Structure 1
Amino acid sequence: MRLTTQHPAWARAGLVARWFAILVACYLGGVAATNLSPTTVETAHYRATLRLDPVPQPRPTLHSPTIVGDVDLAFTSPALAPGLDVAVSVREEITALLSRGSVSVRALQPSDEEVSAAIREAAIGVGWRFALGAAIVAIAFSVAVHYARRRRPERTHLAMVASALVVVSAGTGLSTALTYQPDRFAALSTTGVLGTVQRNAGLLEGVESRAEQATPYLRNLLALSQALQEKFVPADLTEQEVSARFLLVSDIHGANQYALMRTIIEEEGVDAVIDTGDLINFGQVQEGEAAGIFRGIESLGVPYLFVSGNHDQSSPTDRALLRRMARVPNVVLLQDPEGIHRELSFRGLRITGFNDPRYFGDDAQDPAGKQAPAVAAYNQAMEDEPESDLVLTHEPYAATGVESGRVLLNGHIHTSVLEGSRIQVGTFTGGGVVSHFIATDDEELRGQPYAFDLLTYGPRCALTQLTRYTYRNLLEGRPAYDNIQVINGATIDPRGAEEPRSCSSAAETTIRDIPVETPGEQGTTAPATVTTSTLGTPTTPPPTPSTPSTSSVSP
């Protein structure tokens, strides 16, 4: 039997290779721990979540994604150092500050003491998570060797594991601490809307004063529209008797432009406003309170028909905005906070709709699939009901799934579209200040157009006319007429005048809860128990076993 002895140099190389393998495994284990259990630190108004990037770099980056773009801060490092992913968000407590009205920039900024405490907490949190993850990998590696060789690990192996653990923990901590210092800052770069706004600093100055100038501008726009219609639109469209005129708006996004809305209502003789959602930005009722939105809606003096959008709730079960809207006297919720579908009979027209199941902060994957349960519930509720004249939804993926409805309304996309009997309403406020600007390929800062529609019905309940308005650059202080369209309602709903129906201001206005099938009793129905005696004021009468309840409302 011939024995061979490994050359000492190869043996040492093997030990070094094993040591480096353990070192890399411990490092990756530590990084994985910071990602599986990220560190969260807070100041009075902000929250940050920190994770380590697995790839060490000579020019590491502190990467901070936001909803309006990404911020990258590059640093020079004395050695290789891991990058940091920092997700910064606004805490709910900031809404209490906003609700006080006037807020200074200083009040929103964290103090030096808060920042120092947050940095110290972040360093400790990331450090112990990294060390724990590395230690778990080291122990697991030693246990694996023990069972593979069926004997206790040798001292050499234990020494390599221990030294690798110490080196990787100390080295990572030291390089990170030395790198992310103010004097090692190298460059700042931003992407998306955030970067565009940064490159156009000063553009947002004087936004409030420019907004105050919008009312006379809109009056001019409406006057121009009236003059054009009188001159060019056939008289049989413009001179028909009007039974109901609706102002269609959408995607207010927290901007209080109800003074402008009142102007349109007064100038155009609007009977009711239809809002297809995204009233606020972040799903927080306090945002609407701070902006005076609920007071603005009440000041309109006409019914305000509403379905919620994906920005109007902060979670799948959040119904706080709907409950707050229910307290506004002139608001009509077409699906209440408990999910009950409702039919509004307004001047002889049947109007229904349903809320967006999505919420602020969810991913944007498969929007049609996320709408499917809400669409199915609505279709089931309306299966044995008369066809609605108007069906309100927020997203187009919901509207296109509706099985029965003369005219379908949606918003969400911030652009005005007419597709068959589906009317997509643009954003009334240009997306609000938060969502107004979009980044273009040439990095020019461009605002979204403002848009609203007027929908007119005649005495036979037929849609007679859709008038569409878009204009631009109000926020930027350079208002410009964009587009005025007058569309024959018969091209949108050609069946509108087929039924011998009568619509007029004399018709009683009622809200009726759609009966729902009682679980476990196939083929039977039970009426919903929530009715409305005045717009937006819920009452709960004793349940009636046979017929759904209806009640009169004051428009």
Structure 2
Amino acid sequence: MDGQENEQRSTGDDTAPEYGRARRRVFRGLLAGRWGAWLRRLGVVLAVLVVTLAGIVAGTYAGGHQGTDIGPFRAQLNLSPSLTGGTTVDVPPLGSLKLDSHQGPAYLTVELGSLDQGRTEALLDDPASISRASQSAVEDVRAGVLRLGLKTLASAVLATLLLAGLVFRDTRRTAWAGGLALVVTAGSLGLAAATVRPQSIEEPRYEGLLVNAPAIVGDARRIANDYTKYADQLQRLVGNVSKLYTTVSALPVYEPAPGTTRVLHVSDMHLNPTGWSLIRTIVEQFGIDVVIDTGDITDWGSEPEASYVGSIGLLKKPYVYIRGNHDSARTAAAVAQQPNAIVLDNSTTTVSGLTIAGIGDPRFTPDKETSPAGSGLTAQVADQIIGAGEQLATTVQNSPTKVNIALVHDPSSAGPLSGTAPLVLSGHLHERQVLKLPQAPGKEPTTLMVEGSTGGAGLRGLEGEKPTPLTMTVLYFDQQKMLQAYDEITVGGTGQSQVNLERHVIREPEKGAQVPVTPTPSRGGPEPTPNGPSAIPTDPGATPTATR
């Protein structure tokens, strides 16, 4: 009896541990299966998230770009993922503007490319279209950004679907990834749209050359408003030039004789489109034979500005040009491509019987304001400027044909030309000057004529309280190619709505020459009646004027 009980107890002690171990194995299996399912599900979710984000990034970089027209510019809009929102406007090669335009994980880059030649010529031919272009620019940007957003959304979803299909090879998971990409991308773009700050355009951060551009870094909105008003005013003034011509063309002090060569001297256009309208009017009304440009036709000498010179070909007259310190070699090349243009760089040409020599400014300083000659110039720069005049003087002296006119951009280059040519034309100062150069013994006298700014100094001319006037000069040469008289034309500026012309007579007519007598209308009054013969002033400095 005792032995049987001991045997049973012994058997129970052996079976109990095995049962416990089996039960624990079953419990662990159940637990492992449950956690395994959760872990597998978590892994799938994380995989879907990773694939979705990768697809969104890849799709954004692949399809997040859109070309669009903004005014005369062809622009490229690019959207990229970012931890913080914002916008960069690239203006190659001048630099960029940074705008805190919006929040959200999407960054917009706007790159202004080349100017469309057709639209640019339309702007130049009709300055009123500048106002229309500025008004439509906002709509152009809005429409371009909308197309960019839709394209980016479609590209991100498509890229995610393709990537998920390759990774999962499961329709359900691929659909989940595509749907999630749609939600995330649309939400990001919606957040950016909801947080747009239009006032950010007034608070830009500048990089590159734009930091030193006073015409752009200044009060851009005020300048733009002033230019709109100024352009409208100048359009009316340009229309008065023809009326002015009928008033002054028969001034009794000087009557251009048959065979007179008429030269129009312009300078420092600085991208002002209104200047071309005025030049065309003067060329037609005054019967101009040759146009001479002493430089600074552009502001920065960049490739987009090169299309501005396309209006040269519309003049249908020889256009002799030298490079200013705001003009690059690319600018000079663009001018040279015009069918009627002649670019001089320490060289000579003969046009309409006039032999003209010219040299470009040795500097290229688009990031500096134009300053009076000699103001703040280093010794090295001064030597460069004077050296350019010395080079041209050597070219003039070695010319097989007598040079009638020498061209330099900065009047500081004119000194070495004294006695080599009777007339030197320049610009750069944005202010008219006429003076005699110091005469060397045994040399002929030389007159230096510094033109103002035919473009009203561009946008720089609108920074002050009163805009810089548009100026140009008509030069009259006799059959011997000697300067006989010149008309100084001033349009607008100084806050006055007027066109002003001052006629200067250089040489008196030969004795016995007949002088036509023509009444001169007065401003704002009735036509005067003839009051007898009018003698030509014997003072070469006399300046009869006509103003409208």
Tell me the TM-score normalized by structure 1.
0.49
Larger Rg: 2
- Hey, which of these two has a bigger chunk of helix by percent? 2
